[in-house]
Structure 1
Amino acid sequence: MPHSVLIVEDEVIAALSLQETLHQLGYSVCGLASGSEEALQAVRQQQPDLVLMDINLGEQQDGIQLGQTIMQAYGLPVVFLTAYSDRGTIERAKEAFPYGYMIKPWQEAELLATLETALYKHLADKRQFELQQTRNKFYTIIGHDLRSPLAALSVSTRALLKHLDALSPDDLREFISDIHHTVENLYAFTDNLLEWSRLQSGRLEYRPQAVAVQPLAEEVLALLESHARNKGVQVRLQAAARLQVQADRNMLHTILLNLLSNAIKFSYPGSEVWLEVSRQDAARLELQVRDRGRGIPAQQLASLFDFKTAIHTPGTQEEKGTGLGLLLTKEFVEAHGSRLEVSSQEGVGTCIRFFLPLIT
């Protein structure tokens, strides 16, 4: 699909000539505007990829100021096109940080090079901004969600040291159990953090192999047995023996661990969590984790897998969480060419499923 350009030029002949040239160069011209109000309206309605802006729009309208407004308010790249080449005008234009500055009469090759460079730079700027947003979120997670369990460990160990001689064996066992649970959560968090970091930097490779699903699922359930028992949640496995899938074993292990851990977190004591593995058809295996827990409000489903806006809801016993495990799970599932399908009803429970290629 060709890039769309909005031309802001008060001279009709110049605007039409520019439009014709842009069409010949493979661009789509989404509109012609001759003044500030018309240009701003076109930006809002047409949402162009780039704005080609004349500096002198007549009637004392300032194209530089208009271009700066469009860049700041709408995040669009603006290229100035003008007959003015004096030092003062160029310096004023530079202060607006445009994506290009061309002197009339322009040459076709120069126009093409300027627009292509501007679009490329704008894309690079957007990616850099998104990367910075991700880094900021990443640092926030580290700062907040490492601090909480470390603070809990500090409180528990301080109390243990202070009252050690007065504690009964049962009290001592409870203290140690709390510390152990906190350390397990901290380990799971740092493990997800490291894997997600490797994935983002491209250092984590997808390595598919034949994986027997039932033994892997039983291995994951064994890791979660203590957590589920302490909360009073029963975790059930329903899987036919000898089913194999084409998958990265380590990734699949992390996927199941995160989904089941999340289901336990949002389940109530006395309820059940199910991991069901079944043939979807001759070529695919369905893996489904469902619970009868808190459920997810409809307005939160859209941001469930968005790193920048994910909502971190505490569990049914106020367990803390970052949402990072679910984000990592999504990326691991997509690395297998599949996707997570989520259905949930607040107060009823949640079901998350995905599909993997079956080895027959």
Structure 2
Amino acid sequence: MSLDQNIKILIVDDSPNNLMSIEVALEGGGYGFSRALSGREALRVLLHDQDFSLILLDVKMPIMDGYETAELIYERDSLKDIPIIFITAHDYEEAAMFKGYRAGAVDFIRKPFNPEMLRTKVAVFAEIFRKNQLLKRQEERLKASNEKLVILNAELENRVNERTAELLDLNTELRALNLSKDRFLSVISHDLRNPLSSILVSSEFINKHAAKITEKQVLSLSGIIHKTAKEILQQLNDLVDWAMKQREKSKFNPCKLDLRKEIDQSLELLRSYANQKKVNLENRVQPEICIKADEYMLRSILQNVITNALKYTAVGGEPIIITATELAEEVEICITDYGIGMSDETLRTFLDFKGNKSEHGTLGEQGSGLGLLLVSEFVSQHSGTITVESQQGVGTGFKFTMPTFQEI
């Protein structure tokens, strides 16, 4: 029950007049009422509606008295937290009160009741209920926030450690690196300028209207800033990866590689992403197929293409399948997905391999398009070829060739 709803009270008494009297006495207190003329009827009400803040229960009722009713109510775990105030025509005898408290009572009110006394006692329990509900919600929000922070901190720490290690390796290499300036400037001017403008506009609004900005506006604007900052970070990461892999091309070192094992290693690195999308990765390459390739470049090709296939496969979609066919002096590797596929126009753009910004994935994943450009260049460095077949709504097959390893 949300905090802005009425406090719901179940009144149980075998006399309709008593039910009416209690409701009249509590009228105007912001309460909602449900009635029951017997203990059994009260149990039936609670069977269908357990969202009560308080039960006012008459002690003396035919067939099943208030004590028996209370004991049956508290047998259910979902009802144990609802406080019960007994209403009795008897004096507060010690034995009777002990029996009532043992049954679960939190208080007694004697008939004929004093309306002001009834209102006061009910108000106390209503306020306790409100505060408990508020504390519960605050605890739930705090728990959820802490869980998110733990996950985010772990992810951030891992990401920082990974990037720190990569940047340390790149530190000496970046001095001599030619960064393909035209492409970089295009990405920066188009893909970073727009999101940075969104951050500036949102932060400027918060800065100017800090004194009177609403919580809803803060949530909306902070959401924009967070989402946009993540996009910028991803694009900056893509640029760093691009710089590193461009440099790696000068270290082309082809050697004998067991294709099936290399694919297995690449799939392990992508298993977390595949699990997130609930998509299986199936390596159907036959054992003992060997190629002559640069291990780093092959892994980059596989990870970029398979990541792209995962990106455009729906959550819980069909498996992504990797196969290989031995040709005369080459091995053709095929990565097939059954995702959203591409239209003819999108496929033409895709085959340009110019690093254009890619389409959003099925979970809103974004990319700069630089990964596909790397794939094209790495395959070309092995004197290989690329072919892509795709049909919208059916899926995509991405094929590339690598030279077969020839024993001398």
TM-score by length of 1: 0.48
TM-score by length of 2: 0.43
Q: Which has the larger radius of gyration?
A: 2
